[in-house]
Structure 1
């Protein structure tokens, strides 16, 4: 059971990293540090969008419309943090 919880914790950390990379890339693209005309940048960007858009769209359905301010990544990161806390507490409870 502990190993399953460790695997789930690892997956939440990977998801955390993916969301952070997506947010940083969005900033770099908006400030024109990265250019979507570069093939590698475009592939990474569109891949991350395809991966995260289903999650973000479900979160956006519950959030109020704030114009250009998108809080879906923040809510996703907070949900991942909460899930990590729950999983680590469960792992510690089982380990003792």
Structure 2
């Protein structure tokens, strides 16, 4: 069981930290601490967007339109945490 549980937990942990980086970076860009005209910041930002957009797009299709506020990252983050901390250990009998 651990041969399956370990890699799945690792994938969810990596996705968790990528989402944390994306959320913090979006705050820093919105509060104008980071500037997208800087090449390194721009490359990291667009790379994170390309990684996370396939996760956010189906959630945006389900959620109602809240134009100035994007709730897809919050919903994806909650789903990821529940998968990582509750559902996955329960599936493998670790709780």
TM-score by length of 1: 0.89
Distance in 1, matches of 2:53 and 2:91, equals 29
How far apart in 2 are the matches of 1:60 and 1:90?
28
Q: Unaligned stretches of 5+ in structure 1?
A: none
State the match for 2:45 in structure 1. 45
Unpaired runs of 5+ residues, structure 2, are none
Retained in 2: the 8 A contact 1:9–1:88? no
CA distance in 1, matches of 2:67, 2:41: 26
Q: Which runs of 4+ in 1 moved over 2 A?
A: none
Deviations 1:37-59 (A, max 9, x none): 11111110000011111211110
User: RMSD over aligned Cα, in angstroms?
Assistant: 1.5
The 10-residue stretch of structure 1 (30-39 or 80-89) with the greater mean CA deviation from structure 2: 80-89
- For the pair 1:32 / 2:3, whether they are aligned, the reply is no
Counterparts of 2:81 and 2:32, CA distance in 1: 30
Alignment correspondent of 2:88:
87
| Number of equivalent positions | 94
